[in-house]
Chains A and B, each alone.
Chain A
Amino acid sequence: MTVVMREPAAGGRFGEFGGRYVPESLVPACLALEQAFRDAWADPAFRQELDGHRRTYAGRPTALTAARNLSAELGITLLLKREDLAHTGSHKINNVLGQALLARRMGKTRLIAETGAGQHGVATATAAALFGLRATVYMGARDIERQALNVFRMNLLGAEVIPVTSGSRTLKDATNEAMRAWVSAVEDTHFCLGSVAGPHPYPWMVREFQRVIGDEARGQVAAELSTGVPDVVVACVGGGSNAAGTFAGFADTGARLIGVEAAGGAAVSAGEPGVLHGSRSLVLQDRHGQVAEAHSIAAGLDYPGVGPEHAQLSGLGRARYVTVTDDEVLAAVRRLAEREGIICALESAHAVAWVLRAAGTAELPAGSTVLLTLSGRGDKDMSQLMEGLR
């Protein structure tokens, strides 16, 4: 069996995927970032400082909650890794704390970031405030309408939010604009990319900063289950950072890994190999190579690409990628809220929706043990939920 979820091959290759497809202007910055990350990640003092912020600021380790009511109804054992309880309300803080510390170590004074639902933007604004860095967040104009609350949060934290009006006016276009801005400001600015996408070293680095989810869960699950390891590990996938962090903790076990994509943004399930935002991966595109617009009720999953490591895991068969519809997602939000008293983010509800659908079928037979990463809380989605669940 191919060893997966380790350091990528030279140049940031995950099998045939990954790489560093950036303008020459950005290559030196990517090389410098890779070197800085290697040095920092091997430096016990850096790890210790990051760990301290995770514990005393971000609220880690996050809880593992046995969803007892749903488990009883579904005939399975469902364990929830509660990233919704992390500071700022999602797993995004894990990555951002790491990158902000790294930026400071590199002498950068400003962070720029792209955001879809706004969770990564809020996390970036938060870390910038904490470490005394300036922050500029690029956000699609359409997402700004959908996620007004998070825009206000970013502003309150002192970040500048720049609306992106090009293309589909969502995460894809915000990412383009952030990369353009980075070219002009690379001297003093770190591009705090929010997912396991982008040019090398981002897919690897972000997965390493997020693997705290999987590493914590591995230990917590072992204490809950007599088998030590769950049968199935499931997480939602847009770019795929919470899934990558979760899977990293279980890649060397026999657990089945399931990534749940939005039906309208399913790059692994419906995409073709292509180059987008600095790496070769699976991309939703037309036959001419023009990138398609994704459509999902969850702004954080409204993305036509996916991290290159997910493309590799899918190709190797180590992880399987499935899709759920917006309607299934809304029903899942309601059911988790009513049965467990947890209102999760629309993104996270994709993973819940798959479990609700699969439980009792051959995909997830009765008696199965499941670890599900609940990547974020639903507060940001209230106005959409009021509309969708009316």
Chain B
Amino acid sequence: MSTALSTALRADGRPLLVPYVTGGITADWTGFLRAYQEAGADAIEVGLPFSDPMLDGPTIQEASDRALARGATVESILADIAATPLRVPVIVMTYANIVLRIGVPALAAAGVRGLIVPDLPLEESAGLEAAAAAAGVDLVLLAAPSTPDDRLREIGARSRGFVYAISVMGTTGERAALAGSAAVLAARVKRATDLPVLIGFGVSTPAQAAEAGRAGDGVVIASALMRRVLDGATAGALGADVAALRTALDLGVSPGTPHAEVSGHRG
């Protein structure tokens, strides 16, 4: 099924780049959204922090704790998103307890186009799928290296926007190399669905992004960026990081393509 998010994500044939930021991580955190967009992001993933992020490693845990400690709430983050005009779609990542409490309409009202809930597998997601569809928000389902083929087909059939391929059996977090399971899973998911397949978890460097971009249709980059934010990097610096990822991704599929041409293409 063609939906708003997947249409937006299929605007051109190059690998998709979806950088992440924890909502409310700093007072002026929406500056990261603008910087990501200007640096060539195809969509932006915003984490709504949760006190008990079961699938997150130390970096996103620390980012979540810091955002909550400085008083960020789901409401304040959604208000910030609503007040930030962006050309690229915003996808929210949060845990079941948060989204079941606030409901999808609140996300839609803030302009959120997609939703990822890592602790809501197929067996528990039917209610939220219906609510998301009614609100015009794409509920993106996740696939893991441990997912058998029959489940992959159902995930492909029920996911909206894209399928999020968890590259590795583990939590979010930077890794020295892209797991071998990433390419294997991406190929399996692509056989199971026509939706774009984005690879996330442990995609840390431009080189890894390029590698993942060759295996799937794009990448989600979270911990590597949030480590920089936690260390105090500015929106401008993060924009440069995302631009480097953009370049590597684009070169990854068209070796030798000059960066200038790519930038020009992005307009």
Point out residues on A near B: beta carbons under 8 Å: 11, 19-29, 166-167, 172-173, 176, 179-180, 183-184, 186-187, 274-278, 283, 285, 288-291
10 A–B contacts from the bound complex (CB under 8 Å): A23-B142, A24-B122, A24-B155, A25-B146, A25-B166, A183-B170, A274-B97, A277-B52, A288-B74, A291-B97
Point out residues on B near A: beta carbons under 8 Å: 50-58, 61, 65, 68, 73-75, 95-98, 100-102, 118-124, 141-148, 151, 155, 166, 169-171
- Give A29 to B57 CA distance when docked, in angstroms: 20
A28 in contact with B146 given A166-B65, A275-B97, A288-B75 (CB within 8 Å): yes
Say whether A289 contacts B54, CB under 8 Å.
Answer: no
Extra contacts besides A166-B61, A288-B98, A291-B51 (4): CB < 8 Å:
A20-B123, A25-B169, A27-B146, A289-B97
Q: Which residue of B55, B58, B101, B146 contacts A186 across the interface (Cβ within 8 Å)?
A: B146
Q: Which residue of A11, A23, A172 contacts B118 across the interface (Cβ within 8 Å)?
A: A23
Say whether B119 contacts A21, CB under 8 Å.
Answer: yes
A20 in contact with B146 given A167-B65, A283-B97, A289-B97 (CB within 8 Å): no
A20 in contact with B121 given A167-B52, A291-B52 (CB within 8 Å): yes
Say whether A24 contacts B123, CB under 8 Å.
Answer: no
**Complex contacts, A275 vs chain B, CB 8 Å:** 95-97, 100, 119
Q: Which residue of B54, B75, B100, B166 contacts A176 across the interface (Cβ within 8 Å)?
A: B54
Q: Which residue of B75, B142, B148 contacts A28 across the interface (Cβ within 8 Å)?
A: B148
Closest CB of chain A to B182's CB: distance in Å?
13
- Give A22 to B117 CA distance when docked, in angstroms: 10
* Nearest-neighbor residue (CB-CB) of B168 within chain A: A184
* Nearest-neighbor residue (CB-CB) of B99 within chain A: A289
Closest CB of chain A to B162's CB: distance in Å?
15
A24 in contact with B61 given A167-B51, A275-B119, A290-B50 (CB within 8 Å): no
* Nearest-neighbor residue (CB-CB) of A168 within chain B: B51
Say whether A24 contacts B148, CB under 8 Å.
Answer: no
Say whether A289 contacts B170, CB under 8 Å.
Answer: no
Say whether A24 contacts B97, CB under 8 Å.
Answer: no
**Complex contacts, B65 vs chain A, CB 8 Å:** 166-167
Closest CB of chain B to A114's CB: distance in Å?
12
**Complex contacts, A290 vs chain B, CB 8 Å:** 50-51, 68
* Nearest-neighbor residue (CB-CB) of A28 within chain B: B146
Closest CB of chain B to A313's CB: distance in Å?
22
**Complex contacts, B73 vs chain A, CB 8 Å:** 288
**Complex contacts, A276 vs chain B, CB 8 Å:** 52, 97
**Complex contacts, B122 vs chain A, CB 8 Å:** 24, 27
Say whether B169 contacts A186, CB under 8 Å.
Answer: yes
- Give A216 to B91 CA distance when docked, in angstroms: 54
A180 in contact with B55 given A19-B123, A23-B121 (CB within 8 Å): yes
Q: Which residue of A29, A172, A179 contacts B146 across the interface (Cβ within 8 Å)?
A: A29
Closest CB of chain A to B225's CB: distance in Å?
20
**Complex contacts, A183 vs chain B, CB 8 Å:** 55, 169-171
- Give A19 to B144 CA distance when docked, in angstroms: 20
- Give A21 to B97 CA distance when docked, in angstroms: 10
- Give A277 to B53 CA distance when docked, in angstroms: 10
Say whether A278 contacts B119, CB under 8 Å.
Answer: yes
**Complex contacts, A186 vs chain B, CB 8 Å:** 146, 169
- Give A72 to B131 CA distance when docked, in angstroms: 59
Closest CB of chain B to A5's CB: distance in Å?
23
A176 in contact with B52 given A25-B144, A275-B119 (CB within 8 Å): yes
**Complex contacts, A28 vs chain B, CB 8 Å:** 146-148, 151
**Complex contacts, B58 vs chain A, CB 8 Å:** 166
Closest CB of chain A to B84's CB: distance in Å?
21
- Give A261 to B152 CA distance when docked, in angstroms: 42
A285 in contact with B97 given A23-B142, A25-B145, A167-B52 (CB within 8 Å): yes
- Give A167 to B69 CA distance when docked, in angstroms: 11
Task: Output the residue of A24, A25, A274 with the most chain B CB within 10 A.
Answer: A24
A23 in contact with B55 given A184-B171, A186-B169 (CB within 8 Å): yes
Say whether B96 contacts A184, CB under 8 Å.
Answer: no
Q: Which residue of A21, A167, A176, A288 contacts B124 across the interface (Cβ within 8 Å)?
A: A21
- Give A21 to B127 CA distance when docked, in angstroms: 13
Closest CB of chain B to A259's CB: distance in Å?
23
Return the 9 tightest CB-CB contacts between A and B, nearest first.
A25-B144, A289-B101, A275-B96, A184-B170, A290-B51, A275-B97, A24-B144, A291-B51, A289-B98
* Nearest-neighbor residue (CB-CB) of A20 within chain B: B123
Closest CB of chain A to B76's CB: distance in Å?
10
**Complex contacts, A283 vs chain B, CB 8 Å:** 97
A289 in contact with B171 given A167-B65, A278-B119 (CB within 8 Å): no
A172 in contact with B123 given A166-B61, A275-B100 (CB within 8 Å): no
**Complex contacts, B98 vs chain A, CB 8 Å:** 288-289
Say whether A23 contacts B101, CB under 8 Å.
Answer: no
Closest CB of chain A to B219's CB: distance in Å?
18
- Give A29 to B73 CA distance when docked, in angstroms: 34
Say whether B169 contacts A24, CB under 8 Å.
Answer: no
**Complex contacts, B144 vs chain A, CB 8 Å:** 23-25, 27
**Complex contacts, A29 vs chain B, CB 8 Å:** 146
- Give A167 to B97 CA distance when docked, in angstroms: 17
Task: Output the residue of A11, A184, A275 with the most chain B CB within 10 A.
Answer: A275
Say whether B123 contacts A289, CB under 8 Å.
Answer: no
**Complex contacts, A176 vs chain B, CB 8 Å:** 52-54
Closest CB of chain B to A283's CB: distance in Å?
7
A277 in contact with B51 given A24-B121, A25-B145, A28-B146 (CB within 8 Å): no
* Nearest-neighbor residue (CB-CB) of A25 within chain B: B144
**Complex contacts, A20 vs chain B, CB 8 Å:** 121, 123-124
**Complex contacts, B147 vs chain A, CB 8 Å:** 24, 27-28
